[in-house]
Amino acid sequence: MDVQTNKESESVQKDNDLRGKIYKGKKGEYKIFEYVNRGGIGTIWKANRISSINENGEIVPIGNEEQDTVAIKILHSNDFDLSDIAHWERFEREIVHGEGFNHSNLVKVLDGIY
């Protein structure tokens, strides 16, 4: 049986409030639909990629049958110092390195949303 502390329970409730929210990244828009897990510096969500951004910077909607299910990592502002450039550099490196991986046991990084 899983036991949650009050802090964890409050965090999960806040996390549940993100369902349906749309995030715009460099390569498209993503709509959150399911909470996955909470980690050290972020919360992982399942989302649908609902649009892409073409070479002219225009948003192009993606039909329901073509939407990809993706994982989104949303950083915790209380655990991730938004004013510390070193944190942003670490997150950017994580994105860049992750984009280069292609393995069935790894999540492929598609985009960065800051």
C-alpha to C-alpha distances, 49 to 37, 61, 75, 83, 87, nearest whole angstrom: 19, 9, 19, 29, 26
Q: What local confidence, expressed as pLDDT, does residue 14 receive? A: 57
Total domains, the chain: 1
In a domain, 83, yes or no: no
In a domain, 45, yes or no: yes
In a domain, 102, yes or no: no
In a domain, 62, yes or no: yes
In a domain, 110, yes or no: no
In a domain, 107, yes or no: no
For the full predicted model, state whether its pTM sits above 0.75. no
In a domain, 34, yes or no: yes
Range of the domain at 18: 6-77
Task: Encode the chain (114 residues) as per-residue pLDDT tens digits.
Answer: 343 444 444 555 555 688 999 988 888 899 999 999 987 777 889 999 999 989 898 999 988 877 888 888 887 766 667 678 887 788 788 778 877 888 888 777 777 765
Cα 105 to the center of its chain, rounded Å: 18
Cβ(71)–Cβ(44) below 8 Å: yes
